[in-house]
Each structure stands twice: as C-alpha cells, then as structure tokens.
Amino acid sequence: MSAPKTNLEKQEKRHRPALWGMAAVALLVALGYFVYVTFLVAEGETPGEPETVIEPNVTATD
C-alpha cells in the first residue's frame, strides 16, 4: 500500500529545514570533539588515555 498523495518536491521542501538542522548539529558535535581533543593535547594528555590506572590485587592460590 502506498501513500495516497505523494508529491516529492513538496516533501523535499518541507523536510529541508530539519535536514539542515541535523547537519548543523552533526557539525557542532564534530567541532566540539575537535576542540576537546585539541585542549587535551595542549595540556599534555593523550586522548583516550585514562588519568589513573588501577592495578588489580590478585593473589595466587595453589
């Protein structure tokens, strides 16, 4: 079953603001991540590296 009234040009025109909004949000997220990583590297940290490493206390039992 198909839609009763399909006008692709009208639908494209109506969806254009939403698509531009999603593209803008994706661009802002990418820019924010880039700035975040840049500031981490400027402070001397490596992105993805934990600040502290917790060694497990494992005792061997025989």
Say yes or no to pLDDT of 62 above 60.
no
Q: Is 49 left (phi over 0), alpha (psi -120 to 50) or beta?
A: beta
pLDDT of residue 49: 62
The proportion of the chain whose per-residue pLDDT surpasses 90, expressed as a percent, equals: 35
Between 29 and 12, residue with greater pLDDT: 29
As a whole number, mean pLDDT of residues 4-30 equals 92
Give me the chain's average pLDDT, please.
82
Q: Which residue has the tokens 């994706």?
A: 26
As a whole number, mean pLDDT of residues 5-24 equals 91
pLDDT tens digits, 47-58: 666 667 677 777
Element (H, E) at 10: helix 8-42
